[in-house]
Amino acid sequence: MTNSKKIIFDTDLGGDCDDVGAAAVLCNLAKAGEAEILAASYCIGNPWGAYFLRYELDYFGFSEVPVGVLKDEGFMWEPNYAKYSKPYAERMNLAQPDMEDAVRVLRRALANNGGTRDITLVAVGPLRNIANLLNSSPDDISPMTGRELIAANVAEFVTMLGNFVKEDAVEWNVLMDIPSARCCIAEMPVPIVFSPWEAGGHIITGQRLDEVSEDHPVRAAYTLYADGKHHTRMSWDLVTVYCAVRNTTPLYRREPLHVTVNERGVTLSEAGDDMLRLVQCAPDEEIVDALNALML
């Protein structure tokens, strides 16, 4: 067993079902002793995904993990950002609690770490929560700014962001909030690891979901997302979480580079050694098998 990795997980669960798969991967790695989930945060305005995230953590046995939410009703509020989370919440009669603001949850998790720089901050959605954290001021939780809390407690920031193979492409997580992406990439005080679109875009997972009940949160999310037709999906967020926890996995290597995000949201890379990106180095089938086993 590897040493347990401290994880803070930020997600836009509700917009796409791979966030649900990624949360399951994280929970199962934590159950295996490979990760310790300190906190989770929800980074879009539509509230239904937050209820789903709370339930999924509870389902896998992590009811003690706090969940913070973005208090911004104007950001990604449309019904398509609750395509599966709302009907599942209604079907399962999930609780709809009034959750704490994401920045406060994130600041508390960092402040409680005591200045040991060993947390991996993982983000698999638009970066509004992380930008808000970076820009947060001292408060009753900590006399430190958000940037100072990150610098003192975070070992690396792993983000599903960018496209480094298609020229002039604007990856979705960037597109949804270009200013936040630019802020985080330019101002993050710890090393950044990019899990780009191409790392998981062709890795199709979910083939084993028939092994669990129809009400299992992962199976239900994948099926509802696809209007009941099937339950497989690309694996952007699953790859991100897997490689954040297993940072020495033989499935992907880390390639040094320097990244900027321009005004249009294009991720531009050049030679450098201050940032890293994930590059696949194992057959698709091996990656699919590893991820499928952690989704159940």
DSSP result, 75-104: SS-SGGGGTTHHHHHHHHT-----PPBHHH
Residue 230: per-residue pLDDT: 81
**Contact in structure between 202 and 83 (CB atoms under 8 Å):** no
Give backbone dihedrals phi and psi of 161, rounded to 5 degrees, phi first: -160, 140
pLDDT at residue 191 greater than cutoff 70: yes
pLDDT at position 80 is 95
Could you tell me if 44 and 70 are in contact, meaning their C-beta atoms sit under 8 angstroms apart?
A: yes
Whether 2 has a pLDDT exceeding 90, the answer reads: no
**What mean pLDDT is reported for the chain?**
97
Q: What is the DSSP letter of 136?
A: P
Distance CA 119, CA 7 (A): 6
pLDDT tens for 76-88 read: 999 999 999 999 9
pLDDT at residue 184 greater than cutoff 70: yes
Residues 236-247: pLDDT tens digits?
A: 999 999 999 999
- The pLDDT value recorded for residue 229 is 84
Q: What would the DSSP string read from start to end of 154-189?
A: EEEEEE----SSSTT---HHHHTTHHHHHHHHHH-S
The pLDDT-based confidence of 39 (bands split at 50, 70, 90) is very high
- Tokens standing for 158? 């792993």
Model confidence at 1, pLDDT cuts 50, 70, 90, reads very low
Q: What's the pLDDT at 125?
A: 98
Tokens 């005591």 identify what position?
114
Asked whether the beta carbons of 296 and 218 are under 8 A apart, the reply is: yes
| Residue 296 DSSP symbol | -
How many CB atoms sit inside 10 A of residue 226's CB?
Answer: 16
Q: What is the pLDDT of residues 102-126, one digit of tens each?
A: 999 999 999 999 999 999 999 999 9
Give per-residue pLDDT as tens, 151-174.
Answer: 999 999 999 999 999 989 999 999
- Measured CA to CA in angstroms, residue 96 lies from 16, 51, 99 at distances of 20, 6, 9
pLDDT score, position 102:
98
**Distance between CA atoms of 107 and 134, rounded to whole angstroms?**
10
Helix residue ranges per DSSP H, 235-293? 236-245, 284-293
How many other CB atoms are found less than 10 A from the CB of residue 108?
Answer: 19
Q: What is the pLDDT of residues 51-78, one digit of tens each?
A: 999 999 999 999 999 999 999 989 999 9
pTM recorded for the entire structure: 0.97
Please answer whether residues 43 and 11 qualify as being in contact, where contact means their C-beta atoms are separated by less than 8 angstroms. Answer: yes
User: 73 phi and psi, to 5 degrees?
Assistant: -70, -15
Q: What phi-psi label fits residue 147: left (phi over 0), alpha (psi between -120 and 50 degrees) or beta? A: alpha
Mean pLDDT of 171-199: 98
How sure is the predictor about 190, in pLDDT bands with cuts at 50, 70 and 90?
very high
Report whether 13 contacts 53 (CB < 8 A): yes
> In whole angstroms, what is the distance from residue 292 CA to residue 21 CA?
9
Distance of CA 65 to the CA centre of its chain: 15
- At 226 the pLDDT is 94
Percent of the chain with pLDDT over 90: 96
Coil/strand/helix, residue 38: strand
